[in-house]
Every structure is written in structure tokens, then in C-alpha cells.
Amino acid sequence: MKASIIFPNLNGEKWLKDCIDSCINQDFDQEYEIIVIENASTDSSMDIIRECQTRFENLRVIVNEENLGFAPAVNQGIRASEAEYVVMFNNDAFAEPDWLRELVRVADSDPQIFSVGSHMIQHFNRELTDDAGDYVPLFGWTCKRGDGLSVERYTKQERIFSACGGAALYRRSILDQIGYFEEAFFAYGEDVDLGWRGNIHGYKNIFNPKARVYHICSATTGGRYNAFKAIKSGQNTALLLWKNQPLLQLIINMPFILIGFLPKYLMFRHNGFDKELMEGTKNAFRMRKDIDKPKFRFKNIPNYLWIEWKMFLTCFTYVDYRVKRFLKIK
């Protein structure tokens, strides 16, 4: 088996059939499968999945009795897969027919490539990017590259900090080495954590602009701001920074992290979710001892230096992005 497309589903009946059909209709000449993790939906999702199974024999479903969250669910799928590559996908995304072929083509080109990210495009405005890879500036935010900017700005294949787990390929052999998605995150930020770990070990995360998908953002979890997202933002941002930085790096970056927390707090306060943000941050403090930090190894010092350099450079990337959005430049 060359690849397994894995995605969790929770009450996704509105978009689920089109999502699965886009995975079934791939122009790919090697064997692949689809694994749906059914996270205790109460709508007609299972009926849709069963109908799709009649048209595609390599469609499997794992049924959970409760909503495990994104990270634990996709880990179920990874463990169930025996493929060379596992491909994460969102149940509110729709892939172009050559999407899987493009992901595999790039991954096959270099065994040091850990992940290949897609060009995620806004479904309802297909001239604008939704996500062209994720990054973390020194201020400690997790940022979507290109969100709301023209798709024409992102036509170059290049190394990125992290692939967005909404539509990304991962090399199974490296996952077995560095670990799967961090289940403590439940949802949000687990893909950045995984990409960061890949960077620590010297592997590459690559953006492939030819692997295109169209995405309806937050169709399962709701709008841009809500209590659930606020809690997870506070919790997972803190866990992400604690987990992936050795003590010296964390001390060096702490002034920038504290500076970065202020505008984030004010933003959530403006939207009425400052208490939830702080609740999530407190949760992270309690959870920190249960998180497995990557072991510091001297051989990885060049990789830590590369990470620090990228975190520095993307401070300017973020400022440039905010200026473009303020001036309404696409």
C-alpha cells in the first residue's frame, strides 16, 4: 500500500460525501486507501460512509463511541495503516484529482522529506489562499502562511516550518521514529508540533503548490472565535512552546513570547473569550509534566539553530502579512 488518506469525522454530513468523493476520484496509479475515523456523529454521517463504501472497496471506517478529538483520532488511523505514507485530510476539504499524486511525487524525491503540505485554498473564494504552510515567529503564535492572500503568491515549492494537517502527507517511517500527533492537544496545533519535531530531527517539511485542495474552514468546530477554540489556543500554544524548545532556547525567547501574549490576550478579550484563553493557559501549566519533550541531543544543535533563525525571520513575515491585510492587498 502506497498511501492511506486518513480523516476524522464528527457530524460532517453537509460536506462529507463530496469530501470522500474527491478522495475516491484521485488520478493515482498506485494502491491507496481511505480510513475514516467516525468520532461518534449523531447525524447521517455513517449512512453516507456506507454508501461510499459500495463504490470504493478500499474505504475503511473506525467507529468511536465518543469524540476523541482530531489528534487521537488520526493516530488511530495511522496505527491502522500499513502504507508508506499517511495523508491527513479534513472532512470539510475537497481535493483536485492530481492532489495525491503530487504529494507522493514530492515525497518520493527525497527520503529526508518528512511531510508535504498542500496548497489549501478557500472553498468559497478560490482566488484566495487558506493555508500554504504554518510557521511560529518568536512571539509564539502559530500562524497560517498566506491566509486571505492571492493564490498566485504561492506557486513555488519550498521548505516550510510545518505542513498544515488539514491536507498533508507524512512519511510513516519517520513518524514511527519521532512519534505521532500529540494527543494532549486534542485539536489545534498538533500539526505544528509534529512539524517542529521533524525539524528538530533534521527532516524537511515541504510545501507543494501543485497539490491543491479547497477548504471550508472550521466546518466542524464552529467560527473563528468561540470558547472551545479560546481554551485550546491558550493551552496548546503554551504546550507547543514548552515541549519543543530546550530550556536555554525557551529562556532566550521568553521576552518575545511574553510580548506576543499581550496582543493575543487583547484580541480574545475583544471577542469575549479572555477568560477561556487564560483557562487554557493554566491547563497547559498543569499538563506540562505529562508532555514528552524531545530529548536534547548535541547532534541536533544545527537543527535548533535553523529553527531559531526561521522563528526570527518569520517575525518579519508576520508583520508583512499584517500590513498587506490592513491595506487590503491580496
The reported pTM is: 0.94
Give the residue ranges of DSSP H helices in the chain: 13-24, 45-53, 70-80, 99-108, 172-178, 190-200, 227-244, 247-270, 274-287, 301-326
Q: Phi and psi for 316 in degrees, rounded to 5?
A: -70, -35
pLDDT at residue 218, as a whole number: 59
Q: Would you identify the CATH topology of the domain 3-215?
A: Spore Coat Polysaccharide Biosynthesis Protein SpsA; Chain A (3.90.550)
Cβ-contact 6, 78 below 8 angstroms? yes
| pLDDT, tens digit (0-9, with 9 covering 90-100), for 262-315 | 999 998 899 899 899 999 999 888 888 888 899 999 999 999 999 999 999 999
| pLDDT, tens digit (0-9, with 9 covering 90-100), for 180-237 | 999 888 778 899 999 999 999 999 999 999 999 999 975 454 556 788 889 988 889 9
- Residue bearing the bigger pLDDT, 229 or 174: 174
Q: Where are the domains of the chain?
A: 3-215, 227-326
Q: If you average pLDDT over residues 149-164, what whole number do you get?
A: 97
